[in-house]
Amino acid sequence: MAPSTTPPTSVRRVKNIARYAIGCGAIADLEPLTKAQAAGGGDGTVCFVDEYFRGNPGLLGAFAVGEGVQTIFVPTDVEPTTDYVDQVVESIRSGPRPRPSCLVGIGGGIAMDTCKAASNLLANGGRAEDYQGWDLVKRPGVFKVAVPTISGTGAEASRTCVLTNPRTKLKLGMNSDHTVFDYVVMDPDLTRTVPRDQYFFTGMDAYIHCMESLAGSHRNAIGDAYSRETLRMCKDVFLAQDMMDDRCREQLMVASYLGGCAIATSYVGLVHPLSAALSVVLGLHHCVANCIVMRAMQPFYPEAFREFWDMAHRQAVAVPSIDGATLDATTLDALHDATLMHERPLANALGAEFRKVLTKQATGQIFRGM
Ligand code: NAD
Ligand code: ZN
């Protein structure tokens, strides 16, 4: 019998998105969808909208700021913390729609993750930090819809919502089948206004998730197929003349979705723990932090390293670097500790003995190489 590509250590039972709409103009699905949901009871719709759209509502049509909908503008200067989510949920509970029938997350990973976390908390009670980990959410959340306006993280399809706990310094999501959105509306018209650098950094998250999955040991045969197609589409987009033309924006939206499905079946690798440390210790945002980490990944992921820099150069994107002067011994220690917290992805990438590879000296060298 041929060996299975899905070994016993892998994720074997997978929940994906139940329904989605894709194509220019798909945003028109949103209003009938939420109205149908409200007809079943509850207090109507609460929308989590990326703050970018506060000053630019035109793209979303009347819906997000329309009547009968409570809109919460989600700030994106800082990635969501457990405290922020607790505070948002409290404001819903004490507001005009304490038992919403539907939640909608419109924006990037920040707005979508805030929506997912709020959905879980409204249905399960407690505080956000109680659910950071694997399979800790007991009951299905409030019906939730994703409307991505930037592509790459796969937050629209994944089974997590990444939150930083300011006390424990843990950057970890609520990994649960209940965190998966019930419906995703993918309208490539919505990503037209994303700044070019941000478009590249976020888009590369899909590429990095999938190359890490395929290089890891916790594989899943279906996840591998999603990952391979995601990589193909990312390369098609980022090696094109203009990564943001109409065709590429639709391709990248699909790649992001497939990448999110892939990651629901597997784990990331070395880039993400290092990137999470940059976020927690230096306050860098996730997607730009990943790209900075890629500066030091040649020894670990040589092929992806080469492809990544080909794509960055092709699109003339300037990936920032770390100022060596900020990396004193205390900071390097903190970066090391924040990296090694992420045991599952590190074991996926480097094996159970990953601590032998990632000594303090080794992580010091990696961070200094960024
Ligand atoms: P983001 O939410 O961080 O937004 C990035 C920037 O793009 C913001 O300034 C935002 O206002 C802007 N923006 C978004 N859409 C725009 C548009 N259409 N036009 C102009 N500007 C627009 O974006 P992201 O990179 O998608 O998300 C990062 C977050 O996602 C992090 O918090 C990260 O931890 C999380 N994440 C989650 C998952 C998951 O599976 N849940 C996976 C990876 C990352
Ligand atoms: Zn990521």
CA gap 339, 323 in Å, rounded: 19
Q: What's the gap in Å between 20 CA and the centre of ligand 1?
A: 20
What predicted TM-score, i.e. pTM, was given to this entire model? Answer: 0.96
Rounded to whole angstroms, the Cα distance separating 59 from 161 reads: 25
Which residue CA neighbors atom 11 of ligand 1 most closely? 52
- Ligand 1 centroid, distance to 205 Cα (angstroms): 10
- pLDDT on residue 59: 75
Whose Cα sits closest to atom 22 in ligand 1? 194
Chain-centre distance of CA 128, in angstroms?
17
**Residue 136 alpha carbon to ligand 2 centre in Å:** 21
Tokens read off for 339: 């990296």
pLDDT value of residue 55: 84
Give the separation between CA 175 and CA 153, rounded to whole angstroms: 15
Pocket mutation for ligand 1, best pick of 51, 77, 82, 110 (most atoms within 8 Å of C-beta): 110
pLDDT of res. 324: 82
* Contact criterion met (CB below 8 Å) for 196 and 214: no
User: If you take atom 28 of ligand 1, which residue's CA is the nearest one?
Assistant: 109
Q: Specify the DSSP class assigned to residue 250.
A: H
Side chain identity at residue 115, one-letter code: C
SS3 at position 144: strand
- pLDDT number for residue 2: 47
User: Is residue 110 lining ligand 1, measured as CB closer than 6 Å?
Assistant: yes
Nearest CA among 162, 166, 159, 153 for reference residue 107: 153
Probe ligand 1: pick from 27, 151, 161, 162, max atoms within 8 Å of CB? 162
Closest ligand to Cα 273: 2
Distance from C-alpha of 311 to C-alpha of 96, rounded to nearest angstrom: 48
Helix (H, G, I), strand (E, B) or coil at 211: helix
Q: What pLDDT does residue 65 have?
A: 56
Mutate which of 76, 204, 256 for ligand 1? The one with the most ligand atoms within 8 Å of its CB, which is 76
pLDDT at 216: 95
If DSSP codes are grouped into helix, strand and coil, which group holds residue 284?
coil
**3-class SS at 45?**
strand
N- to C-terminal Cα separation, the chain: 45
Let me know: does 173 contact 39? Beta carbons within 8 Å. Answer: no
What is the pLDDT at residue 11? 63
**Length of the chain measured in residues:** 370
* Ligand 2 mean position, distance from CA 240 (Å): 23
Tokens of 219: 């594989």
How far apart (Å, rounded) are the C-alpha atoms in residues 204 and 240? Answer: 14
pLDDT at residue 10 in the model: 56
For the chain (length 370 residues), average pLDDT per consecutive 10?
A: 51 84 93 91 94 84 69 95 98 94 97 98 98 94 97 96 89 92 97 97 98 94 96 98 98 98 91 95 96 98 98 98 91 96 94 97 97
Cα–Cα distance list, 42 to 30, 85, 101, 154, 299 (Å): 18, 21, 5, 29, 54
Count the neighbouring beta carbons within 10 Å of the beta carbon of residue 32: 9
